[in-house]
């Protein structure tokens, strides 16, 4: 195995020698420099995988060295060392693009864990597919090439240019509104309004006036005429998001408007006729809501002329790399970042997660990882998931009457550590965090249990 290279820059010889000895003992190839100017010469000769530098040095300090490395486009994780761990130092270090900073005197295990995480950035980056371009000039971009998503695209194509009412069903975060917009912008109504009504965010007392509008003086506070969403959507499309949330009373009024294409404003006497296309979406199982008496059966049948079911992300995990590539390009541009990609271990972590929040949750995770990343490559430590990915067996067959308690405990420990190692590509730093022990304790336990690289 090729040794990873670490360049240490510090104006104190004792510090340089101490770090040289420690890192050499940990099987790194180490070079040292006494200041920023010496470091410039060694950067191109030694080609380090990670740079560790003190902040306060004569001639060129650590911040100046960091800025020079970033402006030169060198993809080297930089760890800053300082004896003055102030808020200003921390903020400046992160703004300039440091991988991390550490305060002297530091804990040796913490320091070595930090080095290992930084060096991991030089590992092979996962290969990404080309990010998809928007599906049309409207900017609608439904990402996915799995068989289930190809079926969704076919459904959109078949129904788009008709006037059929469409019910779009799927869990929260799957992209129901994107599908609704794709239907509208691929229809003959594309140049007319697309009006969205978020049924979940409007109290029932306001929903009727939002949908149908009201006349001046219809109630206290109605100081002028208000045009409702149905009227605004004339000749276009009205989209009811989370339609399963509206009350039975409002459902009855909505049914009439959908059936007759006409309605009365609140407080009005004149019937208004409109030409609108109806699209609706819900994360509820409306058939079950009908059985439970929470949703009108006649309205359900009126909405469910065509049904499009969007699969949850956990059922189309082959689309995750494509989605990540899209969000990576999007947020690199938005935040003026230059994150080059995700490590293979990071991709494995994301694919192994069940994504209860679906694509919306994945986008949030990628966005946060890009903002908080300490280097050009996102590694598992940069990723914060909403729930813990299972890292140990669900059951262990340990009740063997021929084993002593000590043997049973050792067997359990070995199985748990092995499984954690296999699921994290034998990255001991990550495994130590998962198992909530320090890295040296993990090494000692692996040696005690006879666990080697090949398991």
Please answer whether residues 190 and 236 qualify as being in contact, where contact means their C-beta atoms are separated by less than 8 angstroms: no
- Report residue 325: phi and psi, to 5°: -60, -40
- pLDDT tens by residue, 348-378: 889 889 999 999 999 999 999 998 887 788 8
pLDDT value for 207:
80
- pLDDT tens by residue, 213-244: 888 877 777 888 888 899 999 999 999 999 99
Would you call the peptide bond into 388 cis, given omega within 30 degrees of 0 as the criterion? Answer: no
CA distances for 309 relative to 26, 178, 198, angstroms: 54, 13, 19
Please answer whether residues 65 and 52 qualify as being in contact, where contact means their C-beta atoms are separated by less than 8 angstroms: no
* Residue located via tokens 């006879």: 450
What's 147-310's CATH class? Answer: alpha beta
Every domain range in the chain assigned CATH 1.10.10: 390-455
pLDDT value for 402:
57
C-alpha–C-alpha distance, residues 301 and 360, integer Å: 29
- pLDDT tens by residue, 3-16: 889 999 999 999 99
C-alpha–C-alpha distance, residues 10 and 320, integer Å: 43
CA distances for 60 relative to 10, 16, 66, 115, 422, angstroms: 11, 17, 10, 23, 44
pLDDT value for 396:
41
pLDDT value for 134:
41
Beta bridge partners of 308: 168
Strands (E), 56-159: 78-82, 100-103
pTM for the whole structure: 0.67
C-alpha–C-alpha distance, residues 199 and 208, integer Å: 11
Beta bridge partners of 383: none
Residue 249: pLDDT above 60? yes
C-alpha–C-alpha distance, residues 428 and 435, integer Å: 10
Please answer whether residues 99 and 62 qualify as being in contact, where contact means their C-beta atoms are separated by less than 8 angstroms: no
The C-alpha angle with vertex 272 and arms to 266 and 273, in degrees rounded to 5, equals: 140
For residue 310 the two structure tokens come to: 């969007």
Every domain range in the chain assigned CATH 3.40.50.300: 147-310
- pLDDT tens by residue, 188-202: 999 999 999 998 887
Residue 267 Rama label (left phi>0; alpha psi -120 to 50; beta): left
pLDDT value for 73:
73
Every domain range in the chain assigned CATH 3.40.50.2300: 5-122
* CA 185 from centroid of its chain's CA atoms: 27
Torsion angle of C-alpha atoms 285, 291, 294, 296, degrees rounded to 10: 100
- Report residue 330: phi and psi, to 5°: -65, -50
3-state secondary structure of 216: coil
Which DSSP letter does residue 127 get? P
pLDDT value for 403:
58
Nearest to 240 by CA among 277, 295, 287: 277
Q: How confident is the model at residue 395 (pLDDT cuts 50, 70, 90)?
A: very low
* Residue located via tokens 């909405």: 303
* Percent over 70 (pLDDT), the chain: 89
> Please, what's the b/e burial string for 314-332 (b: 16 or more CB within 10 A of its CB; e: otherwise)?
eebeebbbbbbbbbbebbe
What's 390-455's CATH class? Answer: mainly alpha
* Residue located via tokens 């206290």: 220
Fold for domain 315-382? Helicase, Ruva Protein; domain 3 (1.10.8)
For the chain, what is the mean pLDDT?
A: 84
pLDDT value for 453:
58
Among 132-141, 200-209, 291-300, 416-425, whose mean pLDDT is lowest?
A: 132-141
Superfamily of domain 5-122: Response regulator (3.40.50.2300)
Q: Average pLDDT, stretch 294-302? A: 95
pLDDT value for 127:
52
Bigger pLDDT: 267 or 234? 234
Which DSSP letter does residue 436 get? T
Cβ atoms within 10 Å, residue 203: 8
Bigger pLDDT: 256 or 409? 256
pLDDT value for 46:
87
3-state secondary structure of 187: coil
- pLDDT tens by residue, 116-175: 888 876 554 555 555 554 443 344 578 888 889 988 998 998 899 899 999 999 999 999
Strand-pair category, 262-264 with 271-273: antiparallel
- pLDDT tens by residue, 59-108: 788 898 888 888 777 778 899 998 876 777 777 887 788 888 888 888 88
pLDDT value for 394:
38
Residues 6+ apart with CB under 8 A from 49: 4, 5, 6, 76, 77, 118, 119, 121, 122
* Percent over 90 (pLDDT), the chain: 36
pLDDT value for 129:
55
Q: How confident is the model at residue 399 (pLDDT cuts 50, 70, 90)?
A: very low
Q: How confident is the model at residue 1 (pLDDT cuts 50, 70, 90)?
A: low
Please answer whether residues 4 and 50 qualify as being in contact, where contact means their C-beta atoms are separated by less than 8 angstroms: yes
Cβ atoms within 10 Å, residue 271: 10
């Amino acid at each position: 195995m090729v040794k990873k290279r670490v360049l240490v820059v510090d104006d104190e010889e004792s510090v340089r020698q101490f770090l040289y000895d420690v890192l050499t003992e940990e099987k790194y190839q180490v070079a040292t420099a006494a200041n920023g100017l010496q470091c410039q010469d060694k950067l191109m000769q030694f080609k380090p995988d990670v740079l560790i530098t003190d902040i306060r040095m004569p001639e060129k300090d650590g911040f100046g060295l960091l800025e020079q490395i970033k402006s030169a486009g060198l993809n080297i994780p930089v760890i800053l060392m300082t004896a003055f761990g102030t808020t200003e130092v921390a903020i400046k270090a992160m703004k300039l693009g440091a991988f991390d900073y550490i305060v002297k005197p530091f804990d040796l295990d913490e320091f070595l864990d930090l080095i290992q995480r930084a060096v991991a950035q030089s590992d092979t980056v996962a290969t990404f597919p080309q990010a998809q371009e928007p599906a049309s000039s409207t900017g609608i971009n439904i990402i996915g090439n799995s068989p289930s998503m190809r079926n969704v695209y076919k459904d959109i194509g078949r129904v788009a240019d008709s006037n059929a009412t469409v019910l779009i069903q799927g869990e929260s975060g799957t992209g129901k509104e994107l599908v609704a917009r794709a239907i509208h912008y691929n229809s003959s109504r594309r140049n007319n309004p697309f009006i969205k009504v978020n049924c979940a965010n409007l109290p029932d007392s306001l929903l009727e006036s939002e949908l149908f509008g009201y006349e001046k003086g219809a109630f206290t506070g109605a100081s002028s005429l208000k045009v409702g969403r149905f009227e605004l959507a004339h000749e276009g499309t009205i989209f009811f998001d989370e339609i399963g949330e509206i009350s039975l009373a409002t459902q009855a009024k909505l049914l009439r408007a959908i059936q007759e294409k006409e309605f009365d404003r609140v407080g009005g006497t004149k019937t208004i006729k409109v030409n609108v296309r109806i699209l609706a979406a819900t994360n509820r199982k409306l058939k079950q809501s009908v059985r439970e008496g929470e949703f009108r059966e006649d309205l359900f049948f009126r909405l469910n002329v065509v049904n499009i079911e969007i699969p949850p992300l956990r059922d189309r995990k082959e689309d995750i790399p494509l989605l990540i590539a899209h969000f990576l390009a999007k947020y690199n541009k938005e935040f003026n970042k230059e994150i080059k990609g995700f490590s293979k271990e990071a991709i494995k972590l994301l694919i192994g997660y069940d994504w209860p929040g679906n694509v919306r949750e994945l986008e949030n995770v990628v966005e946060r990882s890009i903002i908080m990343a300490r280097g050009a490559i996102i590694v598992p430590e940069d990723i914060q998931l909403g729930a813990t990915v299972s890292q140990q067996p669900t059951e262990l067959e340990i009740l063997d009457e021929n084993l002593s308690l000590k043997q049973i405990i050792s067997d359990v420990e070995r199985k748990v550590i092995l499984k954690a190692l296999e699921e994290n590509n034998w990255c001991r730093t990550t495994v130590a965090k998962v198992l909530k022990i320090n890295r040296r304790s993990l090494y000692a336990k692996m040696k005690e249990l006879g666990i080697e690289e090949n398991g």
